Amino acid sequence: MKKITTPLLLNLLLFFGVVQSQPSVFLRPKLVVGIVVDQMRWDYLYRYYDRYAENGGFKRLLRQGYSCENTMIPYLHTVTACGHASMYSGTVPAVHGITGNEWWDREIRNYVYCTEDTLAKTIGSITTSAGAMSPRNMLVTSICDELKLATNFRSKVIGIALKDRGGILPAGHSADAAYWYDTKTGNWITSTYYMNQLPAWVTAFNEKKWVDSFYLKGWSTLYPPDTYTQSTADNQRYENKIFGNGFPYTLSQYAGKNYNPIVATPYGNTLTTAFAKAIIDNENFGADHITDFLAISYSSPDYAGHSFGPNSVEQEDIFLRLDKELGGLLDFLEKKVGKNEYLLFLSADHGVANVPAFLTEHKIPAGNLQPQPLFDDLLVKLKERFGKDDLVLIIVNSQVLLNTPLIDSFKMNQKEIKEWIIQYLLKQPGIGNAVDIATLMQAPLNSTVKESIVNCYYPKRSGDIQLLNSPQWIEGFEKAGTTHGVWNPYDAHIPLLWYGWNITPGKGSREVFITDIAPTLAAMLRIQMPSGCTGKVITEIVK
């Protein structure tokens, strides 16, 4: 047996001493960046693939990251608030309580907006209502809360989006900040839930008047108009004319006057990216080995998608430009934080339906439901049948809410009223089914559809009868535009890409869910899952 020389022995002791003393946080990335693209269907990854830049974001994420190709949303109300809350909490609306962008609260008997908070005041603007927001309506923790807890609140967490709900819900309850866009002033704002005044760097950012400079540029297509062959010809009758009759769009008339239109242009994404970079620079995100979390949501694809539809030149151009934004963000992160020193994921809160008028032009059945006329007619018919006014309070989130206190006060048969309403609804065009939620488990429904209803039912914030649209039928948007909000794949099949720290490139087609993102992050970061988590770890990612 050979003797160990003194220098070698010292080196070994030194090496093992360093390993032993190294804190566990070194097993985590310096920074986690979560990206939500509001209203991005999965097929957009490939619909425009040949048009995406080689140094852009999407090709790099697909080629150098891992793509979960069959990621679905397992609940019915596929809308923005539900998507952001479910992604970051790892559970469904039935658990986290965010049952829609708004809902009817049975206890206070009134509408509630998902992030409204009467205790919070606006910081950064004189627009009083814009900042009266917080995450208090979300009942569980987010993965960002769990990171805070795991590091004894040394991690820094910030959420940003043009939409308040897109920045607030992902960042969770204990975030250092959430920022969103004030359409009255063109500034990034927050609320007293987080702070009493804006940081100096945010004020300086706002003073640059980014939006006015974007307006002066106008909006022309990134590439020659005749190359947009993946889209219907510009300026269709079923597209909203919010900026005029097709490209190029002049926007200079809004400068200094109207800061709302920018959200439906690619510049909304540019503004969001610039602010994200400013956060990393000024808040020193990823500067040490205590993991920070930046939650970014790109809202503009949703605003544009609602107005123009998924087959429009406008939407194609927004994604081609977003691709470049993402490429620039990746370059920035690799220079600032370090290649493979950060973990990034990209997904969406929901997809979108094609414009019904576009589909019918191509002989595909589709149509528009109008909830308000349906509600008004239902009240009239109910009075004719049962002799009482106001037996139904409202139709919201595709659910009928009975006026239970009134029905009980008249000692009426609630079951009989429900059965009558269901039979009435089944006769209406565009309604494929209507079910009594109280007896849902006995209803002859497809198991996927049944589960999606169950996963969205929170008693204090949900209705009594669930409406199910016929495929390709949407609520509202009768004259132009489109929407989302149902279980069908065009609304529920979303992208999920992983990139960076400890990610092995690849692709998988196993079905996973939006609720699996948070537990997968928890497993990778070696922290506790969020408090209401029902999702499962995506084992292909955690190796």
Provide the CB-side half-sphere exposure for 44 (13 A, CA).
Answer: 34
- pTM of the model as a whole: 0.94
How is the beta sheet containing 493-494 ordered, strand by strand? Answer: 493-494, 71-72, 512-513
Do 233 and 252 belong to one domain? Answer: yes
pLDDT per position as a tens digit, 500-539: 999 999 999 999 999 999 999 999 999 999 999 999 999 9
Residue 340 lies in a domain: yes
Do 255 and 151 belong to one domain? Answer: yes
Residue 16 lies in a domain: no
Do 494 and 462 belong to one domain? Answer: no
Give the mean pLDDT of 221-242. Answer: 96
Residue 125 lies in a domain: yes
Q: Say if CB 465 and CB 400 are below 8 A apart.
A: yes
Reduced to 3 states (helix: H, G, I; strand: E, B; else coil), residue 206 is helix
Do 304 and 430 belong to one domain? Answer: no
Do 349 and 381 belong to one domain? Answer: no
- CATH code, domain carrying 423: 3.30.1360.150
Do 179 and 49 belong to one domain? Answer: yes
The helix (H) or strand (E) run that includes residue 59 is helix 57-64
Do 290 and 383 belong to one domain? Answer: no
Domain containing 153: what range?
A: 33-88+119-360+487-525
Do 419 and 497 belong to one domain? Answer: no
| Active-site annotation, residues | 80
- Helices and strands, counts by H and E, the chain: 19, 21
Domain count, the chain: 2
Pairing of strands 465-469, 177-182: unpaired
Q: How far apart are CA 70 and CA 43, in angstroms?
A: 11
Express the helix, strand and coil content of the chain in percent, nearest 5 each. 40, 15, 45
Do 462 and 316 belong to one domain? Answer: no
Residue 2 lies in a domain: no
Residue 25 lies in a domain: no
pLDDT per position as a tens digit, 412-443: 999 999 999 999 999 999 999 999 999 999 99
The dihedral region occupied by 197, where left means phi > 0, alpha psi between -120 and 50, and beta the remainder, is: beta
Q: Say if CB 405 and CB 106 are below 8 A apart.
A: no
Do 172 and 315 belong to one domain? Answer: yes
Beta bridge mates, 282? none
What pLDDT does 27 receive? 86
Do 201 and 307 belong to one domain? Answer: yes
Q: Say if CB 109 and CB 519 are below 8 A apart.
A: no
Do 515 and 409 belong to one domain? Answer: no
pLDDT per position as a tens digit, 324-335: 999 999 999 999
Beta bridge mates, 190? 123
- CATH code, domain carrying 72: 3.40.720.10
pLDDT per position as a tens digit, 281-315: 999 999 999 999 999 999 999 999 999 999 999 99
